[in-house]
């Protein structure tokens, strides 16, 4: 099957470093997924810190650089309760990255 990103996911991915864009452009060729977030501004990063969704305040997160050195993505459609699917997706992404000589965590 041939998947593609929505305009919103494409816009978010474009805020990320070129290597991350390359990885996720390969991922979408095989797995339907969405880009949740790339770059975070100071307000968003500090909100994520306040709500416990990030351990770092602005400007210390990898999402805070321009371009972003971090990306949040999930298989589509998103099911936050399906941890097995999320784990398999993460493994697939890590494998694609490794094949391109990039180490992700």
Structural domain contains residue 49: no
Structural domain contains residue 17: yes
Structural domain contains residue 81: yes
**pTM of whole model > 0.85?**
yes
Three-state secondary structure readout of the chain: CCCCCCHHHHHHHCCECHHHHHHHHHHCCCCCEEEEECCCCHHHHHHHHHCCCCCCCCCCCHHHCCCECCCEEEECCCCCCCHHHHHHHHHHHHHHHHHCCCCCC
The pLDDT score that the predictor gives to residue 2 is: 85
Structural domain contains residue 43: no
Q: Collect the ranges in the chain with pLDDT lower than 50.
A: none
Structural domain contains residue 85: yes
Structural domain contains residue 44: no
The pLDDT score that the predictor gives to residue 105 is: 85
Structural domain contains residue 82: yes
The pLDDT score that the predictor gives to residue 87 is: 97
* Tally of domains in the chain: 1
Structural domain contains residue 78: yes
What digits encode the pLDDT tens for the residues 23-38?
A: 999 999 999 999 999 9
* Domain of residue 18, residue span: 7-38+68-99
């Amino acid at each position: 099957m041939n998947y593609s990103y929505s305009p919103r996911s494409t816009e978010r991915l474009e805020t990320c470093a070129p290597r991350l864009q390359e990885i996720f452009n390969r991922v979408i060729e095989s797995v339907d997924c969405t880009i949740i977030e790339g770059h975070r501004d100071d307000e968003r990063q500090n909100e994520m810190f306040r709500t416990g969704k990030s351990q770092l305040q602005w400007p210390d997160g990898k999402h805070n650089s321009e371009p972003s050195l971090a990306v949040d993505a999930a298989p589509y459609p998103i099911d936050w309760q399906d941890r097995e699917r999320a784990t398999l997706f993460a493994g697939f992404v890590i494998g694609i990255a490794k094949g391109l000589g990039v180490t992700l965590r």
